[in-house]
Structure 1
Amino acid sequence: MALNATKTIVEREGAAALSTRKIANEIGYTVGSLYLVFANLDDLIFQVNARTLSELAAELDRAAARSNTPKAALVELGLAYFRFATSNLGRWELIFGRGSPAANASPEWYRNRIPVLFDRVERLLVQLAPSRKPGEVALAARALWGGVHGICTLALTDKLGIAGLSDAEPLLTTLIETFLSGWMQRS
């Protein structure tokens, strides 16, 4: 119940509005009762974020399945990431925004979920450039994600217009296709 209440509050009011008091009020419990189940608010947030990451992973898998080439699949992954963030802005902010728990404070079980998301990108990159070393593939996956994430952040914070742009999707497609062309050329 607390996890669902957290999701509801974040979707309704944004990540910055989250507090244990609001969560407890949402489910009709006391704040103290939350601490019988969760160590603290960060623990609860990590649990919600883990659910969100699982939903994102499923959405990414559906997007990649719609493509018939690795390059097209990578473009679809980037677009799916943006669309997921747009549709789930509050929960996306809970993972990446101000007020989210510090990454270095995250429990090991949570940290282990992150590489699984990059695995999708790495497998596709290997298909495009099978001679690349695993370290190069891992670095490329993270560099590409950094660019996609940056565009998403600009778009979702209404700062994309600073660059004279209004639509993130063509920008994402250009970034991914250009990155892949250059990366494959260096293989």
Structure 2
Amino acid sequence: MTTATRKEMEHERMRRKILDAAKELFAKDGFDNVSIRKIAARIKYSPAALYRYFKNKEDLILSLKMEGMQKFGEMQSHLVNIKDPFQRLREGGRIYLDYARKEPEYYDLLFTKAVPSFCSPEKWVGGPHQNFTNFQETVRQCIETGVLGDVSVNTAVAALWASVHGLASLAASGRLQSHLPGIDMDNIFEDVLDFITIPQIEREKMRKGKQDESSK
């Protein structure tokens, strides 16, 4: 192993250590209550040395956000292979819940915390991520096939996202399991999705039935 390779590996090891410490502290204490000095103290490093790896706290938090989105995207990579949009929607909701349970710190950072005061809102929020664009397209296809009834894409997206986000947040905090012991966490989103959509499907059938009757 060359000296350059060893230095590169050591640099990446320290960068990883800083990110892990920051992620834990941000999740526990909030963005604005965690300083570079506090992160450095957690890993027994000098505050000045952290600036070799990150320009400032904004650079650090945006690096964490990028990591979190990458992990989320990797969990969803197989969705493109699911042809049926309703089944794709069900699987996407299950993944969202899994992400909240398996990566609670990233989930909290990406989906529940407000924009950090030290971070540019434009950089933090950014444009629509590909994951979200894919979700919108799946919802649009579900509407076209009649699964979600006669509703706008934006309304359906807002309702479905709010449902799965609420479930994920309750699950991540342990409140869902505490208040509803014995709940099937592996299938809860699919059950809720059926609860939301089946009445829509039935209403759509009734509407079409009335149209058929009037056309006779």
TM over 0.5, shorter chain: yes
Where does residue 92 of structure 2 map in the other structure? 77
**Cα offset, 1:85, TM superposition:** 1.9
Matches within 5 A, 1:145-160: 145-160=161-176
Structure-1-length-normalised TM-score: 0.74
Structure-2-length-normalised TM-score: 0.66
Measured in 2, the distance between the counterparts of 1:168 and 1:103 equals 35
Query: Structure 1 pair 70/131, CA: closer, same or farther in 2 (3 Å)?
Result: closer
Gaps of 5+ in 1: none
How many pairs does the alignment contain? 182
Gaps of 5+ in 2: 1-11, 208-216
**Cα offset, 1:108, TM superposition:** 1.9
Query: Structure 1 pair 12/109, CA: closer, same or farther in 2 (3 Å)?
Result: closer
Match of 1:128 among 129, 142, 159: 142
Where does residue 183 of structure 2 map in the other structure? 166
Where does residue 46 of structure 1 map in the other structure? 62
* Conserved? CA contact 2:136–2:157, under 8 Å: yes
CA radius of gyration, larger in:
2
Measured in 1, the distance between the counterparts of 2:115 and 2:27 equals 11
Q: How far does the alpha carbon of each residue in 1:91-145 deviate from its partner, in whole angstroms, 9 at most, with x for none?
A: 22233456x644995442432254433211111112122399xx92133223211
Measured in 2, the distance between the counterparts of 1:30 and 1:131 equals 59
Where does residue 24 of structure 1 map in the other structure? 40
Identity %: 21
**Cα offset, 1:69, TM superposition:** 1.0
**Cα offset, 1:167, TM superposition:** 3.0
Measured in 1, the distance between the counterparts of 2:124 and 2:100 equals 19
Measured in 1, the distance between the counterparts of 2:81 and 2:194 equals 17
